[in-house]
Amino acid sequence: MAKINFSEVVEQICDKDSRYAPDAYHFVQEGLNHTLKSLKRGGQHAHRHVSGQELLSGLREFALKEYGPMSKAVLNEWGIKATDDFGQVVFNLVNSGVLGKNETDSPSDFKNVFTFDDAFVKPFVPRNITSVRKSTSAKTKKRTSSGSKKNKAGSV
């Protein structure tokens, strides 16, 4: 059996379905490998099936590792704006024979699992953002009020 050339398959998929950039498919493939490794399901004879939830968790972790605070922007640039999009990419690969599935796997496994803001933005928001804003605001007020006193006293 001839080995599948992943890049050629992705090119064919993108010719039929242009919603997602080729990089999205390469990311999912690398993210799947990352997920299998983190679940310790690598190797030729190991059980390699992962659920949609497991894959999404692995893709999230992989994106944060690879792109950090830019994860959401990078994924959005490739057309991936929600977990449903990951499911579409996965099932485009399944329908092309690159990935396998079992009888219970479905694109709906990827529907609304998490929001991209929760997954890719929140980890980088400072925890005490409200206290930072309050203290910055208080310092600004203090400088403004003390500065206006000096101006009144020093004006001619």
* pLDDT tens per residue across span 96-152: 999 999 999 999 999 999 999 999 999 999 987 665 555 555 555 666 555 555 555
Confidence label for 153 from pLDDT (cuts 50, 70 and 90):
low
Compute the distance between CA of residue 98 and CA of residue 29 in angstroms, rounded to an integer.
10
Angle 114-33-54 from CA coordinates, rounded to 5°: 30
pTM of the predicted protein model: 0.76
Percent of the chain beyond pLDDT 90?
71
Q: How far is the CA of 29 from the CAs of 7, 10, 91, in angstroms?
A: 11, 11, 12
Alpha-helical (H) ranges within 6-156 are: 6-16, 22-38, 52-67, 71-77, 83-95, 116, 129-154
pLDDT band of residue 45 (cuts 50, 70, 90) is: very low
Least confident of 12-21, 31-40, 77-86: 31-40
